[in-house]
């Protein structure tokens, strides 16, 4: 696939580049998207039923063990060429914001210094009742431990279905999207609200919007440019075209 020359030129000249990512960018690192995750041992569990506060209260061992499995997958995974291209992009753009829905920490591992985490991070834990941050420990399947401060159950520090997103991250993501000159929507189905609104906000505020995804999404028809294919292939091509050598 060749990168549109218009995009190369705009990327070189842009003062503010914003990238918004979803589970698809980590697919090439071996981390399944929710739609792909219906395999193997966990195939009979629906993420929409496990990733909720109610599910954790009803079946803490099951939910904690599902997260222990996801955390292990993420801990073994390595950033792929798509993540690495975005780490380089951060060093080239005068102003750069990376907004992610992912909880796998792979952007940070690739070298992106400032990541707006909309849905938390699998590496962190907090307690259920008071959100006391609980220092990192190995998350093993089985019963969740108790908070050392208040004794309530420890849970992953991620946003579950039905919970609000962290206000600071949302404010930063909206501000970045509305002032972007170029806005990339990468590897996200743009179905999970409120994050899914960000590409539309950027488009309404006048950014050049670019979708990178092998499949069509509800945003595809509004994007200025659509690059169909895997992010791990397209992003390195784009970076080489914009900044050869």
Catalytic residues: 119
220 exposed, middle or buried (CB, 10 Å; 0-12, 13-18, 19+)? Answer: middle
The answer for residues whose C-beta is within 8 angstroms of residue 240's C-beta and 6 or more apart is: none
CA separation for the pair 32, 38 (Å, rounded)? 9
Closest-CA residue to 95 (of 10, 212, 7, 179):
179
Residue number of the CB atom closest to ligand NAD: 24
Distance between start and end Cα atoms, the chain? 20
Point out which residues bind ligand NAD (CB under 6 A): 22-28, 31, 33-35, 101-104, 119, 187-189, 191-192, 212-215, 217, 230-232
148 exposed, middle or buried (CB, 10 Å; 0-12, 13-18, 19+)? Answer: exposed
Between 85 and 147, CB nearer to ligand NAD? 85
Residue 241 CB, nearest distance to ligand NAD (Å)?
18
Between 28 and 97, CB nearer to ligand NAD? 28
Residue 228 CB, nearest distance to ligand NAD (Å)?
9
DSSP assignment string, 194-242 = TGGGHHHHHHHTT-EEEEE-SS--TTTTT-SEEE-S-HHHHHHHHHHHH
Between 26 and 177, CB nearer to ligand NAD? 26
Between 10 and 107, CB nearer to ligand NAD? 107
CA separation for the pair 217, 228 (Å, rounded)? 11
Residue 245 CB, nearest distance to ligand NAD (Å)?
26
Residue 122 CB, nearest distance to ligand NAD (Å)?
7
């Amino acid at each position: 696939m060749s990168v549109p020359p218009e995009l190369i030129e705009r990327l070189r000249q842009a003062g503010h580049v914003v990238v918004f990512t979803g589970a698809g960018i980590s697919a090439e690192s071996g981390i399944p998207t929710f739609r792909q995750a219906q395999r193997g041992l966990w195939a009979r569990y629906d993420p929409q039923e496990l990733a909720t506060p109610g599910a954790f209260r009803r079946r803490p061992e099951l939910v904690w063990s599902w997260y222990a499995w996801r955390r292990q997958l993420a801990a073994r995974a390595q950033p792929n060429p798509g993540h690495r291209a975005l780490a380089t992009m951060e060093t080239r753009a005068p102003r750069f914001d990376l907004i992610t829905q992912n909880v796998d920490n792979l952007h940070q591992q690739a070298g992106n210094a400032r990541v707006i985490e909309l849905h938390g991070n699998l590496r962190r834990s907090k307690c259920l009742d008071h959100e006391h941050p609980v220092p990192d420990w190995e998350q093993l399947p089985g019963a969740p431990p108790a908070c050392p401060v208040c004794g309530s159950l420890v849970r992953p520090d991620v946003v579950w279905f039905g919970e609000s997103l962290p206000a600071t991250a949302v404010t930063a993501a909206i501000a970045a999207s509305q002032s972007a000159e170029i806005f990339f929507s990468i590897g996200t189905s743009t179905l999970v609200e409120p994050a899914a609104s960000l590409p539309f906000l950027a488009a309404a505020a006048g950014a050049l919007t670019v979708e990178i995804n092998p499949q069509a999404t509800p945003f595809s028809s509004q994007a200025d440019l659509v690059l169909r294919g895997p992010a791990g292939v397209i992003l390195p091509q784009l970076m080489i075209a914009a900044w050869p050598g």
